[in-house]
Amino acid sequence: MPHRGFIKKIVECMKANRRIFLALVFLLSIGNIGAQECWPIFRGDPSLQGRAIGKLPVDPDLLWSFQASDGFKSSPVVCEGIIVAGSLDGKVIGLDMQGKELWKFECESSIEAPALILNSKVYFGDLDGMLYALDLETGKELWTYEAENQISGSVNYWEVGTRIYLLVGSYDYYLHCIDAETGIGLWKYESDNFINGAGSCADGRVVFGGCDGFLHVVNIETGIADNKVDVATYVAGSVAIEGGKAYVGDYDGGFSCVDLDKGEVSWKFSNDKSQLPFIASPAISGERVVTAGRDKYVYCFNKEDGEILWKYNSGSRLDASPLIAGKNVLVCNMRGDIQILSLLSGEVLWSYEIGSPISSSPALVDGKIIISSEDGNIYCFGK
């Protein structure tokens, strides 16, 4: 019969090995955390920060492409394993992650606005001013809401208790607030000109710019303005918000940081040489904010004081918004170049040319880059 001390040592060894085994399981599990599983809105989250969880794939390959009947200006969004994008001939397409078409929904007008995926539903607007709600799995229409002019920007959302508020701007000068479940309008806030971009939601407020040159700060529950800040002549893109600060480009080639509580511009960059517009929306990570302009440059600013940390000439104008993931930045230009840059230095780490303009913003889900192009293709890159 084995000695008691020997048996005790075996038991202790088994316990130690079990601890090692459990530790390895834990480490493996957290290694898988960080792959972004849902990119529900064209900038990733309601505050439109343009930052993805996880990393961009190193030296990615083209995994597949899907050819639609017309080009895309709307950015793809992805949730529950379904990619959704709207085309210029008025078709909204649902694809699986292998590029197979699952469903198609046809509108009566072109679609430039990115969709929003929320709670297994798809929300999007078209250039006739119709806002649609579809079932994500089947593409079946659930309800419609009508604005009085075109919708070019993404729907955004905010939850208060059991109610979900949908926020969308229109060329009818109004920001519309709609109940997500019923499609019933809750309130309208009037600006002084067209609203082209998406509203950014944070701290119970929706913040958006418009062709009136103001940054509007509106209470989501009441529809009443908290503030209105003069930033430019026109604001065509969308705003990114972090820590009570809004970052926004304008049509005169300016890029501003606005303190939302003080209602004032904290700092502003102006390109006096070109004065070409910023259509793209910025991305924020750490101390850095990255944006892209029609002057062909990608800019990286210190978000606290506006110092240019680096800038990179991409070779063509940029309307697509940059995406930050980990230590890298993904940008797409109107020549059809897709590039991964170092967030630290702006160095080009990878590039791929599709040869057709890209005005929509990329999505990153589960290590895969999804991009729609004006050549009518949706592309998937990864390893």
Per-domain residue ranges of the chain: 39-382
For the chain, report the end-to-end CA distance as a whole number of angstroms: 56
What is the helix (H) or strand (E) element at residue 343, kind and residue range?
none
- Percent pLDDT > 90 in the chain is 88
pLDDT in tens, 286-343: 999 999 999 999 999 999 999 999 999 999 999 999 999 999 999 999 999 999 999 9
E strands along 3-109, which residues? 51-52, 61-67, 77-79, 82-86, 91-96, 101-106
pLDDT at 16: 43
In angstroms, rounded to a whole number, what is the distance separating the alpha carbons of residues 174 and 186?
A: 13
Burial class (CB in 10 A: 0-12, 13-18, 19+), 317: buried
The two tokens of residue 279 are 């259509």
pLDDT at 36: 82
Q: Classify domain 39-382 at the CATH superfamily level.
A: YVTN repeat-like/Quinoprotein amine dehydrogenase (2.130.10.10)
Query: Which segments of the chain have a pLDDT < 70?
Result: 1-35
Q: Which of 74, 51, 63, 35 has the alpha carbon at shortest distance from 329?
A: 51
- Taking the CB of residue 64, how many other CB atoms lie within 10 A of it? 16
pLDDT at 1: 46
- Residue 31 Cα distances to 25, 97, 329, angstroms: 10, 22, 21
pLDDT at 24: 38
The two tokens of residue 290 are 């990255």
pLDDT at 273: 82
| 154 touches 193 (CB < 8 A) | no
